[in-house]
Amino acid sequence: MTIGNFDGVHRGHQAILRRVAERAEEAKRPSVAITFEPHPLAVLRPDQAPPRLQTLRQKEEGIEALGIETLLVVPFTRDFSLTEPEEFARRFLAGRLAAAEIFLGPHFAFGRGKRGDVALLSRLGPDCGFTASSVEEVLFEGEPISSTRIRNAIRGGRVSEAVGMLGRPYAIDGMVAKGEGLGRTLGFPTINLTPENELYPADGVYVTRIALQSAALPLPAVTNVGTRPTLYAEKKRTIETHVLDFSTDVYGERARLAFFDRLRDERAFPSREELSRQIGRDVDAARRWIAGAARSAEPPG
C-alpha cells in the first residue's frame, strides 16, 4: 500500500503506485492507495490551500489506470489531523488494513505535527507486521517533480512542461455550455466549457484536444483561455475551444479538454476582422503542431 495526496498523479506518484501494484501482484496480495479528501491544507490553512490539479474523479481514474485495486479516500478533518502517527500506524494500517509492505514518497509526512514518515513506520514495522520503504524521486530537467512545480508551470502557461512532469497533458473536465455564438460570427465556432477543475492555464491560446461523449476519439482543437478583450470590456474569464473540422451540436455533453502547448498570449486586436485573421493563423499553427507531433511519433524507418 501507499499513502499520499497524489494531486495530479504525476510521474513521481506513478513510480510509487506502480511499485505498489507490482509488489502486490508478486505477493498475491491486494494493492491499496490511501488518499485524503479534501486536501489537508484546505482544512488546516484554507488561505494557503493550493488549487488542485485534478478533480477527485480524475485522481481515481489515474490511480486505477496504474493497476491499484483499491483506493481508500479518508475524510480529512481537524480532529483527524490530531491523530498521533503511531496510533494511525498501529490501529489503522496494521489493525484494520493488515498492511504488509508500505511504499511512500521520501518526503511524505502524516499525523499530528507531521511527525509520521518512512523512518517512523520502519521503526514500528517489526511490531506491526509490515515493512516500510521510500521510492526514489523522479526528476524532470534535473529537479524533483512535484505538484507545486506543475501548478507553477500551468499558471505560467508552460503546459508543455506540465506534460513532461505529468506524463500526459493537463486536462480540464466540464460540461459544454451554450455560448453567445460570437465565435461563429468570426468564422470559428467554439465550444464553451464550464470547468470543474480549480486550476486553469494562464490566459492565452493553446493547442488542445477535446474528448466528447459523442466522438469516438479526442478531437484536435485550438483553445483560448482568457477575457476576450477584443470583444468585451468586462473581465469574465472563459475557456473557448474551436474544434478543427467539426461542427456538431454538443451542448450539454461532458467533455475533457487536454492542453499540449501554448501558441501565444491573449491580446486585444483593433477590430473583429483582425481577430478573425489571427484566429485563422492560430488554427494553421495548431495544424502544423499536430502534424509535427504525429511525425515525431512515427517509428523510425
pLDDT tens per residue across span 219-248: 999 999 998 766 655 578 899 999 999 988
Pinpoint the residues of the chain covered by CATH 2.40.30.30.
169-297
Separation between Cα atoms, residue 225 and residue 204, nearest integer Å: 5
Question: Which of these CATH numbers, 3.40.50.20, 3.40.50.620, 3.30.360.10, 3.30.420.300, describes 2-140?
Answer: 3.40.50.620
Taking only the tens place, the pLDDT of each residue in 114-137 is 999 999 999 999 999 999 999 999
Q: Which residues pair with 73 in a beta bridge?
A: 35
Every domain range in the chain assigned CATH 3.40.50.620: 2-140
Q: What's the average model confidence in pLDDT over 262-280?
A: 91
How far is residue 24 CA from its own chain's centroid? 26
**Tens digit of each residue's pLDDT (9 = 90 or more) over 64-97:** 999 999 999 999 999 999 999 999 999 999 999 9
CB 112 within 8 A of CB 83: yes
pLDDT at 296: 83
The H or E element spanning position 139 is strand 139-140
- C-alpha–C-alpha distance, residues 81 and 246, integer Å: 50
- Please report the pLDDT score of residue 231 as a whole number: 60
C-alpha 199/C-alpha 54 separation (Å) is: 8
pLDDT, tens digit, for every residue of 131-183?
A: 999 999 999 999 999 999 999 999 999 999 999 999 999 999 999 998 766 66
Tell me which long-range contacts 227-230 makes (C-beta under 8 A, separation of at least 24): 227/203, 227/266, 228/266, 229/266, 229/267, 229/268, 230/268, 230/269, 230/271, 230/272, 230/275
Architecture of domain 169-297: Beta Barrel (2.40)
